[in-house]
Structure 1
Amino acid sequence: MRPFFCSLALLLAFPALADAFNPTEIMQAVRDRDEGADRRSEVTLVQTMADGFVRERMLLMHEKEYGAERKSTLYFTAPSDTAGTGILMHSYAEAAAREDDQWLYLPALRKTRRIATNSKEGPFLGTDFSFADIERMRVADYQYTYRRSEELNGRPVHVIEATTADGLENPRTGYSRRLVYIDQERKLILRDEFFRGGRQIKTFEVLGVAEVEGYWTVTESLMSNLVEGGKTKLVRAQADYNLNLPDNDFTERALRNGIR
């Protein structure tokens, strides 16, 4: 009889464990994690195609908080066929229920175009990240269920399932379900599994974390495309915080002129 009572005790304890954590509040804490007033990063994108071909691109990333809003500028510096390409993102307060704005500048065309909301599930400049993946997380995109607490790579994590209300694809992200692994102490997403129509299509993994100027910083991450077989690694070579970045770094003119 002892195994029966042990199993019964585990079944009774699991709901209590799940009830101890509010998954929506955990996701909000991830979204609102302190990352300083602003930050500058030097980033390398290393894309490996399904056939093994490797392509590298380097970029500068400036981000700045404006209360509950955030502005970001990504400016590619190498190689030559990508240099000068820029992306401007304006993430609005989630309570405003307003779609975030993104603009793309292509130097070959000398034009800036706004990225439509229904285009954000498409690949980010041909990589395995989508435009929606690089936006600030929107908690209201999904409903959340606390699944379990476990360890991932030696770190205690919350495992939270995110699903759309109707089970269909979220029109902004293109995902119908996610399984998110969150570092309980650092409030960082360490792993994210993306599903569409019941099939896992991508996996995001954090490969490196460092404390920089008092802020937990992802130094290396990987997005794997399980459908097409490619993968894209994001390597953050340098990060600096609270630099008092000028507001004109976050304008369409900055896309054309570049940032430093």
Structure 2
Amino acid sequence: MRKRLIVMMLVAAMVFAGGLFNQLNAMTGQEVLENMDETMRVDNKYMEQEMVLVSSRGSERSREIATWSRVEAGNEQMLVRFLAPADVAGTGLLMEDDDMWLYLPELNNTRRIAGSAKQGDFMGSDLSYEDMEALGTAGFGNDYQAELVEVVEFEGHEAYKLDLIPVNDGVAYSNLEVKVDSEFWLPLKIDYYEAGELVKTLLTFDHAELYGRWTAQMLEMTDHESGSQTRLILNEVDYNTEIDPGVFTTRNLERGL
């Protein structure tokens, strides 16, 4: 009797697992990508982060940044401002759809970032301007088409593995491999390729539901060529306060701190 009960439980577990697997595989790559972008994109967001730059030798430099972002009627805006240390305080980056401006207080100068320059590194970090835009507000759906490769387990999470192929020539990467958590729709890992060669990897950690939204409280980008890393550690976030559109102007950008 006991053996029969165990067999029945095993069969039930297999049926449940099979049903879950079929349900997961019923999603298309584009649907998964849309869900991920929707989770990452927030109407109004203010956050403060510690940016830790880790050299290939293991030495660390720490910076503090504040980010305001807003999405309205498809218009995406983001302002990133350095708060500390003193040598970078007041430096800011303004993004509005495909336009970007960088303000350098030591030069009292604002310059527009051309399309080709977006692939350069952002303030000595391992994230490019393009990476900042995609992870901050824009998401990946405007630049990539997604194919669902398989459903995998990654670090104890059920995840969709996507292959993202560019749909325009304006991006730096030949393709991205993304593992998206099937429960809270955040990327767990992103591998960035150039001409088929793995150049960078993004990992996300400490996922939590904050103010009703799933949030990764730490991001870590590794540059495989240089061996350096950049960590973004969340110190504060607010999804509920409506941000004044006047924040996202070059005039405000040039106010510094």
TM-score, with structure 2 as normaliser: 0.85
- Cα deviation for residue 154 of structure 1 reads 1.7
Mapping of residues 1-260 of structure 1, within 5 Å: 20-33=26-39, 36-91=42-97, 100-135=98-133, 136-164=138-166, 171-258=169-256
Distance 2:193 2:161 in 1: 15
- Cα deviation for residue 19 of structure 1 reads 6.4
Distance 2:25 2:50 in 1: 41
- Cα deviation for residue 85 of structure 1 reads 0.1
| 1:129-167 alpha-carbon deviations (Å, 9 max, x no partner) | 1110011224242332211112222221100111246xx
Distance 2:61 2:250 in 1: 27
Gaps of 5+ in 1: 1-15, 92-99
Distance 1:17 1:39 in 2: 33
Change beyond 3 A, Cα 1:245–1:182: same
TM-score, with structure 1 as normaliser: 0.84
Distance 1:141 1:209 in 2: 26
Distance 2:102 2:150 in 1: 40
Structure with the bigger percentage of helix: 2
| 1:49-104 alpha-carbon deviations (Å, 9 max, x no partner) | 1122211110111111212122111110100110010011112xxxxxxxx11110
Distance 1:35 1:146 in 2: 21
CA RMSD of aligned residues (A): 2.0
- Does structure 1 retain, via aligned residues, the 8 Å contact 2:105–2:256? no
| 1:205-256 alpha-carbon deviations (Å, 9 max, x no partner) | 0022121111111110100000110000000111111212211111111211
Secondary structure, counterpart of 1:132 in structure 2: helix
Letter in 2 for 1:240: D
- Cα deviation for residue 202 of structure 1 reads 0.5
Secondary structure, counterpart of 1:161 in structure 2: strand
Distance 2:40 2:190 in 1: 20
Gaps of 5+ in 2: 1-21
Task: State how many pairs are aligned.
Answer: 233
